[in-house]
């Protein structure tokens, strides 16, 4: 499979990357190690050579998995990881202090069995630490050759500008899909003004736009069990809009996941979504989205489905939303 390429800072990456998170974090039912290793190698074989992990995922286990699976092919891919969100003594912590960032990065390099990470994100904004201090720690890591470029995740336009003033930012990672469009409020504009690439995560809305959710009977450990829009009574309402979206996909002869990814790709050459999956067939399906061409009329029909009232329930619980700096629409309420 030949994937079109897009620029991301100093890198050239495939138009669709691979989010490694759900191989060992967030959704439960993880694949066995052999299957995960086969999947990651298949991604590289198909030209999906932009891999995204984080210290948080599996308490470092995801970084170790990536190392075991593909680090022997290090020259073939662009590697992204993240700091600030992590586990400490078995508990999730948010810590953007420079000394913590340095420790997390050093540990990540060991886990990943590499000398340098291509793109290293601040996973979330620690409101107790000036963003300038956190970015400053990463700027020093660039000088030391431990990382090549700096990224931000789920941050507002104002924070992006403050961070970029300290050191050039290569990428903003945020949730983005036809039914989650918060970054359009201000972040996309700021990124385009500053020449920052955009890396949408959850581009198929945590499975909602991939035909994967029919009820809220999620597996033990699945984080969607606590997200308001993925549980009843909100879910039944939301699936009505999803059914209309699925009908559009069938109309043009693609899958819902491909339609969602094609919609993101249509939004600009600076968009590089990173869907995740635990299944090789789904990986190949996702990458097939590069062959789906959307006419303006179809894009308008997609967006007409997901009006403000179409999706009920917050993206996160109130406590989790407190760690999100991305702008919210006036009608959104953290629950």
CA distance 154 to 199: 10
pTM for the model: 0.97
Residue 148, classed as helix, strand or coil, is strand
Q: How far is CA 315 from CA 124, 231, 233, 299, in A?
A: 15, 11, 15, 23
Q: Which residues does the annotation mark as catalytic?
A: 57
Beta bridge partners of 171: 151, 197
- CATH superfamily of the domain spanning 5-205+267-292: NADP-dependent oxidoreductase domain (3.20.20.100)
The pLDDT profile of the chain, 335 residues, written as one tens digit per residue, is: 689 999 999 999 999 999 999 999 989 889 999 999 999 999 999 999 999 999 999 999 999 999 999 999 999 999 999 999 999 988 999 999 999 999 999 999 999 999 999 999 999 999 999 999 999 999 999 999 999 999 999 999 999 999 999 999 999 999 999 999 999 999 999 999 999 999 999 999 999 999 999 999 999 889 999 999 999 999 999 999 999 999 999 999 999 999 999 999 999 999 999 999 999 999 999 999 999 999 999 999 999 999 988 999 999 998 889 999 999 998 886 55
Instruction: Give the domain ranges of the chain.
Output: 5-205+267-292
Q: What is the DSSP letter of 177?
A: B
Q: Output Rg (C-alpha) for the chain, integer angstroms.
A: 19
> What residues contact 239, with CB distance under 8 A and at least 6 apart?
208, 213, 214
The owner of tokens 């990065």 is 105
CA distance 98 to 193: 28
């Amino acid at each position: 499979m030949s994937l079109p390429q897009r620029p991301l800072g100093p890198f050239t990456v495939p138009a669709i990357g691979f989010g490694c998170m759900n191989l060992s974090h967030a959704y439960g039912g993880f694949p066995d190690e052999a299957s995960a290793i086969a999947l990651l190698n298949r991604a590289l074989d198909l030209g999906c050579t932009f891999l995204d992990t984080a210290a948080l995922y599996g308490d470092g286990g995801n970084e170790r998995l990536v190392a075991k699976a593909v680090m022997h092919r290090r020259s073939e891919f662009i590697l992204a990881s993240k700091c600030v969100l992590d586990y400490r003594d078995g508990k999730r912590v948010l810590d953007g202090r420079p000394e913590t960032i340095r420790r997390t990065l050093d540990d990540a390099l060991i886990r990943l069995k590499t000398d340098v990470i291509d793109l290293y994100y601040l996973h979330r904004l620690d409101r107790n630490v000036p963003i300038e201090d956190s970015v400053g720690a990463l700027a020093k890591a660039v000088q030391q050759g431990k990382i090549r470029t700096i990224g931000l995740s789920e941050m507002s336009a104002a924070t992006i500008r403050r961070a970029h003033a300290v050191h050039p930012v290569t990428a903003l990672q945020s949730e983005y899909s036809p039914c989650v469009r918060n970054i359009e409020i201000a972040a996309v504009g700021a990124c385009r003004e500053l020449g920052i690439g955009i890396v949408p995560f959850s581009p198929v809305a945590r499975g909602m736009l991939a035909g994967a959710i029919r009820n809220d009977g999620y597996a033990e450990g699945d984080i969607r069990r606590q997200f308001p829009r993925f549980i009843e009574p909100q879910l039944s309402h939301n699936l009505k809009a999803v059914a209309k979206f699925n009908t559009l996909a069938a109309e043009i002869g693609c899958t819902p996941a491909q339609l969602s990814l094609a919609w993101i790709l249509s939004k600009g050459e600076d968009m590089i979504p990173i869907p995740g999956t635990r299944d090789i067939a789904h990986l190949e399906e996702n990458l097939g989205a590069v062959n789906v061409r959307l006419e303006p009329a179809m894009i308008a029909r997609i967006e007409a489905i997901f009006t403000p009232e179409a999706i009920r329930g917050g993206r996160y619980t109130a406590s989790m939303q407190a760690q999100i700096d991305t702008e919210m629409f006036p009608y959104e309420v953290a629950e």
